[in-house]
């Protein structure tokens, strides 16, 4: 039997007058390369668009899918004459989806497109949908589950729609190294499942949710991507592409190639490959449209590289740690540098991953980061999670105790005030690092 192959389409259409990206033309080109929207979607179908709008951040940050990309996809999908186009999201834990839609600019676009369709007498209904607020859920048993998600409550609407189009923006990501089509699935579940996913191996948990919710079309916003210490302190970078595929694994792999990310160092491809979710072998992926080398732009992604020797003043023990915990290690160690705590605290040892010996030190001088280090929990300060929360390590080092949000009132009284006070210092540090990497001011990196 012939081996399965996948196709990834890349479009980079420019406005001939301004020389800037023509988002609509690129979206249409990608759909055409994939066979044409009317071949993929039938008249009267219900179509869910799942952008990445998990945080209340504006379009200039590149944290959420650009509203103009959402608009272009709505207009393209409309050509197939569906009955409904539903723009759905379940924002990150602690975030309000409707606020995220408003701040990201997506709500305005959806209202404008809905009003235009109505004014033109079109039958299609275009609407926003907060997955978190939906009470009509089906409790699915996950077959061959890879994590401990044996059952998963999924809104009926997601299961009954004829098509789900994931619409991620490409970005570097503190807890997964990078985020694109595969990770966008996290925004299809409500907080309870979301929180369960974070208490175990997140990459495997994502595969279980992919089993339950199966988007059939993936379109990537790679016009301005979020590089650097994204998603919380992103450095937007112009790449100028729209990419598309029916295979989220192949798409993410080629997306990494476009921005120069070493996929061998990203553990979530291994999980996707083992789950049989798609093709993770470049020899079996056909790239059509633009060539990768013609649209290549190296992204600054500080979450990869040798973590054991990157901070020689510290005793970092990270043998066997997977890429998620390594990325968090990078984020937190650099935060300590930015805050001027790096030298002062360097007598502390940090253990990450399953294969590390315990140093001979007092308990308060040993940070145990992540569930892999739980066996030593009586001998150091243990930060739970797989991976743990994104800022847990630096906040715990700063406070001299475990800061993981478990103490009642700690989030309001310690975590948020500290993060707010630290952010401007951290942001200035990140901008300086970004300018060193790219060799130009951060304001010139993105296209606005
Ligand atoms: S706790 Fe262990 S398995 Fe989980 S993300 Fe960290 S290193 Fe990986």
Question: What confidence tens digit (pLDDT) does each residue in 47-76 have?
Answer: 999 999 999 999 999 999 999 999 999 999
**Which two structure tokens, joined as six digits, stand for 261?**
């990310």
Which among 146, 176, 372 is the best mutation to test ligand 1's pocket, defined by most ligand atoms within 8 Å of the CB?
A: 372
**Which two structure tokens, joined as six digits, stand for 152?**
């998963």
CA-based nearest residue to 211, from 195, 198, 193: 193
Q: Whose CA is nearest to atom 4 of ligand 1?
A: 386
Residue with the larger pLDDT of the pair 46 and 404: 46
Q: How far is the CA of 328 from the centre of ligand 1 (A)?
A: 10
Q: Is the pLDDT of residue 358 over 90?
A: yes
Mean pLDDT on 206-226: 94
Which among 200, 307, 324, 393 is the best mutation to test ligand 1's pocket, defined by most ligand atoms within 8 Å of the CB?
A: 324
Mean of the per-residue pLDDT values for the chain? 94
Q: Any residues with Cβ below 6 Å from ligand 1, and which?
A: 201, 321-322, 324-325, 353, 370-372, 386-387
At 1, the pLDDT band (50, 70, 90 cuts) reads low
**Distance from chain centroid for Cα 318:** 24
Q: Is the pLDDT of residue 198 over 80?
A: no
Q: How far is the CA of 20 from the centre of ligand 1 (A)?
A: 42
Q: Which atom of ligand 1 is nearest to the CA of 387?
A: 5
Mean pLDDT on 375-379: 96
Buried b / exposed e along 304-326 (16+ C-beta atoms within 10 A): beebeebbeebbbbbeebbbbbb
Q: Which atom of ligand 1 is nearest to the CA of 202?
A: 5
Q: What is the pLDDT of residue 194?
A: 81
Q: How far is the CA of 372 from the centre of ligand 1 (A)?
A: 6
Q: Which atom of ligand 1 is nearest to the CA of 385?
A: 1
Question: Exposure of 271 by Cβ count < 10 A (0-12 exposed, 13-18 middle, 19+ buried)?
Answer: buried
Q: How far is the CA of 385 from the centre of ligand 1 (A)?
A: 8
CA-based nearest residue to 426, from 395, 401, 396: 395
Listed range (37-41, 222-226, 271-275, 278-282) with the worst mean pLDDT: 271-275
Mean pLDDT on 14-28: 95
Q: How far is the CA of 369 from the centre of ligand 1 (A)?
A: 9
Return the SS3 of 280.
Answer: coil
Q: Which atom of ligand 1 is nearest to the CA of 321?
A: 7
Q: What topology is assigned to 6-295 in CATH?
A: Rossmann fold (3.40.50)
Question: What confidence tens digit (pLDDT) does each residue in 267-286 have?
Answer: 788 888 888 899 999 999 99
Q: How far is the CA of 323 from the centre of ligand 1 (A)?
A: 8
Mean pLDDT on 109-115: 98
**For the range 306-312, what are the long-range contacts, defined as Cβ-Cβ under 8 Å and sequence gap of 24 or more?**
307/352, 311/342
Helix/strand/coil percentages in the chain, nearest 5 = 40, 20, 40
At 191, the pLDDT band (50, 70, 90 cuts) reads confident
Q: How far is the CA of 353 from the centre of ligand 1 (A)?
A: 6
At 3, the pLDDT band (50, 70, 90 cuts) reads confident
Return the SS3 of 389.
Answer: coil
Would you kindly state where each structural domain of the chain is located, as residue ranges? 6-295, 315-433
């Amino acid at each position: 039997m012939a081996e399965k192959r996948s196709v990834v389409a890349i479009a980079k259409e420019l406005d001939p007058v301004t020389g800037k990206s023509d988002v609509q033309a690129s979206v249409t080109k990608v759909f055409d390369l994939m066979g044409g929207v009317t071949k993929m979607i039938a008249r009267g179908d219900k179509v869910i668009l799942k952008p990445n709008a998990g945080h209340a951040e504006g379009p200039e940050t590149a944290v959420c899918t650009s509203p103009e990309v959402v608009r272009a996809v709505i207009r393209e999908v409309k050509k197939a004459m569906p009955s409904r186009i539903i723009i759905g999201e379940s924002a990150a834990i602690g975030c309000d989806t409707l606020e995220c839609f408003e701040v990201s600019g997506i709500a305005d676009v959806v209202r404008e497109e809905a009003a235009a369709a109505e004014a033109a007498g079109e039958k299609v209904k275009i609407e926003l949908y907060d997955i978190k607020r939906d009470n009509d859920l089906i409790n699915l048993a996950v077959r061959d589950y890879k994590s401990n998600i044996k059952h998963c409550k999924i809104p009926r609407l997601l299961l009954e729609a004829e098509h789900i189009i994931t619409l991620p923006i490409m970005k570097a990501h503190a807890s997964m190294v990078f985020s694109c089509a595969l990770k966008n699935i996290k925004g299809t579940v409500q907080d309870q499942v979301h929180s369960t996913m974070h208490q175990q191996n997140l990459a495997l948990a994502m595969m279980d949710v992919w089993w339950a919710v199966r988007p059939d079309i993936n379109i990537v916003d790679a016009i301005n991507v979020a590089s650097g210490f994204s998603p919380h302190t992103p450095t937007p970078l112009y790449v100028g592409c729209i990419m598309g595929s029916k295979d989220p694994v192949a798409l993410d792999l080629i997306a990494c190639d476009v921005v120069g990310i070493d996929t061998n160092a990203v553990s979530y491809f291994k999980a996707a490959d083992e789950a049989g979710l798609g093709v993770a072998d470049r020899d079996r992926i056909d790239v059509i449209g633009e060539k990768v080398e013609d649209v290549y732009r190296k992204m600054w992604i500080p979450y990869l590289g040798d973590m054991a020797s990157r901070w020689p003043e510290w005793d970092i023990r990270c043998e066997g740690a997977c890429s998620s915990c390594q990325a968090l290690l990078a984020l937190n160690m650099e935060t300590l540098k930015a805050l001027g705590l790096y030298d002062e605290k360097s007598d502390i040892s940090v253990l990450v991953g399953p294969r590390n010996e315990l140093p001979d030190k007092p308990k308060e001088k040993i940070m145990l980061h992540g569930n892999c280090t739980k066996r030593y929990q009586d001998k150091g300060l243990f930060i739970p999670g797989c991976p743990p929360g994104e800022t847990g390590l630096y906040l715990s080092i700063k406070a001299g105790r475990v800061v993981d949000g478990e103490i009642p009132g700690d989030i309001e009284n310690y975590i948020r005030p500290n993060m707010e006070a630290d952010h401007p210092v951290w942001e200035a540090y990140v901008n300086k690092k970004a300018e060193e990497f790219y060799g130009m001011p951060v304001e010139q990196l993105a296209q606005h």
